[in-house]
């Protein structure tokens, strides 16, 4: 539990106690319950409407936060996971496959984090190797071949900075994805669901729509690493988070993403099915708009959009 | 018992007093070879005794490659804005100003159109001396425009990379320059205009993970450090020392990500041959 979640949790525990006692002793406490409920709602609102940037980063990394496969299973009726890059290995940090929602087929791709120690190791903390990026691109090409829209779910602390990753061309793998994703003829919708760190995130985030969940973050570097490089210590992560302007609000107001997807008060981890439903609606709404365009129009808009990003003085 | 003991071990030169490039008459390579600056310049800034490739900038590359050092510089006037009002130990605009004063450059890349042995070529060349050759909006924009210029005029494009990666002070904007330049390269590839990417010491981070690795030909200078993650980060991740030669140009070639390594003294000749082969039937 995060520090700023504690006061709310305490009140919620108190409320549960009160109800329990009332039940056991058959006394009417409805007035007290109502006032406590109101107090909780107020505190929640106050807390979650005034989150600092660093607190959002903490929410994005919340141990209970839903991961890629949680959303896929919650949103889709049927999901067939597909494995491997056909060259080196199957990267468990990058998952993907065909799924159906409301009778429409999609290709889903995303980084996958683990929930416990064993899983975290298996998923390499959501840090993909080059074969992960190559697997992602292979699946995108399959989707293109069979004319199915692509949805990518981004949640990574970065591409894996390991020895073998370098040997197998981490930089080349990501670069290749960036270029190829611009040319995909099918609609591509990218959603940052948790952490969107640097090239490791961008490597599957070139799309007609790039959206962020309200409590996700997306930037060129994590606040910790930024602090380490600019201040030469890990201690300035709060300042770094402020300076990087990495929240959904920041990225949207700077024109670097296309939209924000609201989360319930308390964050996505308090209501998975509600968030999954919102995601599903958002995907269909955007797909409808994108289907109204030709492939050429989509590609050209996609390029123009990213081409306009950046601020220079002339 | 010695007459006196040294209190501190080793020579302690403060960092600001250390120099990367000499401003004097003589140059000393990391292996200790000494050469006169005039000789070094004549030798394409390669130490003749140990073939060490001295780090040079756009001014020197243009001089080495363009015939008679004649070229038309593109988008000369673009410089950095401060979209995020980024402040760390000092505000970003002050950092830019200090760098501009020190290097006499506008930002970390220059682009130009000229001829090499009579063949048209557009070159975009990064300058490491400008905030570590880091890529912000200016770098992304100038490279994108240089690619558009190549595309429009159907002239081969040479990118000379030399960069530590993204420019943190432009955060999200910096990240999107990777996307932006890759989009332009997709168009260049579709139009079948040749793109040669020369990776020089050092090329890491977001630059490696975008335009630097997307050449029809990825080539490098001997001994250049080339990688995605920096060596220090990898060492910390795996908790082991890195093997000798890890992330050197030779290592990257051995793993299949470079077409060839070229000595800077042969660069112009080799580029000419390659471009000619593509041009002729």
Q: What is the pLDDT of residue B24?
A: 72
CA distances (Å), origin A51, targets B18, B86, B135: 45, 20, 30
The whole-chain average pLDDT of chain A stands at: 96
- CA-closest candidate to residue A299, choices A185, A190, A132: A185
- What percent of chain A shows pLDDT beyond 90? 92
Residue B49: CB atoms within 10 A of its CB come to 12
Instruction: Provide, as residue numbers in chain B, all residues whose Cβ is less than 8 Å from the Cβ of A163.
Output: 234, 238, 242, 246
What is the band of B11 on the pLDDT scale with cuts at 50, 70, 90?
low
pTM: 0.93
Report pLDDT digits (tens) over B123-157: 999 999 999 999 999 999 999 999 999 999 999 99
Flag whether pLDDT at B14 surpasses 80.
Answer: no
Per-residue pLDDT, averaged over A207-214, amounts to: 98
Q: What is the pLDDT of residue B90?
A: 85
A254 touches chain B (CB under 8 A): yes
What stretches of B33-100 adopt beta strand conformation (E)? 34-36, 71-74, 79-80
What is the band of B19 on the pLDDT scale with cuts at 50, 70, 90?
low
**What's the ipTM?**
0.95
Cα(A263)–Cα(A274) distance, integer angstroms = 9
What is the band of A26 on the pLDDT scale with cuts at 50, 70, 90?
confident
- Asked if B228 and A170 come within 8 Å (Cβ–Cβ), the reply is yes
- Asked if B138 and A167 come within 8 Å (Cβ–Cβ), the reply is no
The burial of B272, by beta-carbon neighbours within 10 Å (0-12 exposed, 13-18 middle, 19 or more buried), is given as middle
Q: What is the pLDDT of residue B89?
A: 79
User: CATH number of the domain at A55-307, please?
Assistant: 3.90.226.10
CATH number at residue B156: 3.90.226.10
Cα(B190)–Cα(B186) distance, integer angstroms = 6
Q: Which domain covers residue B135, as residue numbers?
A: 57-280
The residue extents of the domains of chain A are 3-50, 55-307
Q: Which of B83, B137, B213 sits opposite A171 (nearest CB)?
A: B213
For A156-168, the three-class secondary structure string (H helix, E strand, C coil) is ECCCCCCHHHHHC
Report pLDDT digits (tens) over A155-209: 999 999 999 999 999 999 999 999 999 999 999 999 999 999 999 999 999 999 9
Cα(B47)–Cα(B28) distance, integer angstroms = 9
Nearest residue of B to residue A305, measured between CA atoms: B180
A268 touches chain B (CB under 8 A): no
Q: Could you tell me if residue B178 is inside a domain?
A: yes
The count of structural domains within chain B is 1
- Determine if the peptide bond prior to B202 is cis (ω within 30°): yes
Per DSSP, the residues of A100-126 read EETTEEEEEEEE---SSHHHHHHTGGG
What is the band of A230 on the pLDDT scale with cuts at 50, 70, 90?
confident
Q: Which two tokens stand for residue A132?
A: 């992960």
Report pLDDT digits (tens) over B79-115: 999 999 998 778 999 999 999 999 999 999 999 999 9
- CA-closest candidate to residue B233, choices A162, A299, A273, A292: A162
Q: What is the CA radius of gyration of chain A?
A: 21
Flag whether pLDDT at B63 surpasses 70.
Answer: yes
């Amino acid at each position: 539990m995060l520090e700023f979640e504690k006061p709310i949790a305490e009140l919620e525990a108190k409320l549960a106690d009160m109800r329990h006692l009332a039940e056991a002793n058959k006394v009417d406490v409805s007035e007290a319950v109502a006032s406590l409920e109101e107090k909780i709602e107020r505190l929640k609102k106050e807390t979650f409407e005034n989150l600092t940037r660093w607190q959002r980063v903490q929410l994005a990394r919340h141990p209970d936060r839903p991961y890629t496969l949680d959303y896929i299973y919650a949103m889709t009726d049927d999901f067939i996971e597909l494995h491997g890059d056909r060259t080196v290995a199957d990267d468990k940090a990058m998952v993907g496959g065909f799924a159906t929602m409301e009778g429409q087929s999609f290709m889903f791709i995303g980084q996958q984090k683990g929930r416990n120690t064993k899983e975290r190791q298996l998923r390499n903390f959501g840090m993909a190797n080059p074969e992960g990026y190559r697997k992602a691109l292979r699946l995108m090409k399959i989707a293109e071949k069979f004319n199915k829209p692509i949805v990518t779910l981004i949640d990574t602390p970065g591409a894996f900075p390991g020895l073998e990753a370098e040997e197998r061309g981490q930089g080349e793998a990501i670069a290749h994805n960036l270029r190829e994703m611009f040319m995909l003829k099918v609609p591509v919708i990218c959603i940052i669901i948790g952490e969107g760190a640097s090239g490791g995130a961008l490597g599957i985030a070139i799309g007609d729509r790039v959206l962020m969940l309200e409590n996700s973050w997306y930037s060129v570097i994590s606040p910790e690493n930024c602090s380490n490089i600019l201040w030469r210590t890990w201690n300035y992560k709060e300042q770094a988070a402020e300076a990087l302007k990495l929240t959904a609000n920041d990225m949207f107001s700077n024109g670097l993403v296309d939209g924000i997807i609201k989360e319930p008060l308390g964050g996505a981890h308090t209501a998975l099915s509600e968030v999954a439903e919102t995601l599903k609606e958002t995907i269909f709404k955007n797909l409808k708009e994108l289907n109204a365009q030709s492939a050429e129009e989509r590609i050209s808009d996609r390029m123009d959009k990213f081409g306009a990003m950046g601020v220079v003085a002339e | 018992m010695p007459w006196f003991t040294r209190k501190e071990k080793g020579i302690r030169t403060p960092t600001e007093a250390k120099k990367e490039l000499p401003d004097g008459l003589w140059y000393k390579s990391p292996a200790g070879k000494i050469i006169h600056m005039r000789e070094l310049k004549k030798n394409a800034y390669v130490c003749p005794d140990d073939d060490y490739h001295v780090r040079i900038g756009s001014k020197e590359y243009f001089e080495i490659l363009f015939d008679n050092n004649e070229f038309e510089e593109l988008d000369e006037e673009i410089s950095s804005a401060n979209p995020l009002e980024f402040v760390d130990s000092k505000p970003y605009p002050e950092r830019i100003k200090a760098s501009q004063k020190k290097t006499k450059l506008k930002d970390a890349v220059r682009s130009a159109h000229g001829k090499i042995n009579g063949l048209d070529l557009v070159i975009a060349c990064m300058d490491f001396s400008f905030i570590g050759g880091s890529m912000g909006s200016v770098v992304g924009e100038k490279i994108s425009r240089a690619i558009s210029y190549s595309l429009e005029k159907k002239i081969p494009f040479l990118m000379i990379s030399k960069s530590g990666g993204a420019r943190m002070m432009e955060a999200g904007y910096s990240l999107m320059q990777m996307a932006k330049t890759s989009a332009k390269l997709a168009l260049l590839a579709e139009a079948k205009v040749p793109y040669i990417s020369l990776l020089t010491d050092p090329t890491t981070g977001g630059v490696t993970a975008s335009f630097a690795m997307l050449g029809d030909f990825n080539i490098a200078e001997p001994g250049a450090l080339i990688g995605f993650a920096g060596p220090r980060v990898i060492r910390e991740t795996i908790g082991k020392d890195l093997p000798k030669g890890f992330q050197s140009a030779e290592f990257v070639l051995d793993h299949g990500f470079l077409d060839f390594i070229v000595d800077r003294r042969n660069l112009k000749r080799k580029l000419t041959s390659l471009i000619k082969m593509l041009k002729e039937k």
